[in-house]
């Protein structure tokens, strides 16, 4: 199973902007439960973004 990386809510916008700049369209659309395709670095392959309610 892919390993999950948890990011604080505050950086979601920055991550989405980074994603958009690099044309990861499916990721730019939704910033929750993102799954990256194989050609991207393993660290970024599967990211779960937290929300304030989850803290």
24-33 confidence digits (pLDDT tens): 555 444 555 4
Sheet strands side by side (includes 5-7): 5-7, 46-49, 34-35
Please state the pTM of the whole predicted model: 0.15
What's the pLDDT tens digit per position in 41-53? 444 445 555 555 6
CB 27 within 8 A of CB 45: no
Residue 7 backbone dihedrals phi, psi, to 5 degrees: -115, 145
Residue with tokens 């799954």: 35
- Each domain of the chain, given as residue ranges in start order, spans 1-38
């Amino acid at each position: 199973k892919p390993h999950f990386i948890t990011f604080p809510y505050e950086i979601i916008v920055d991550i989405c902007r980074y994603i958009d700049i690099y044309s990861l369209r499916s990721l730019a659309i939704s910033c929750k439960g993102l799954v990256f395709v194989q050609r991207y670095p393993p660290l970024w392959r599967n990211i779960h973004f937290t929300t304030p309610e989850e803290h």
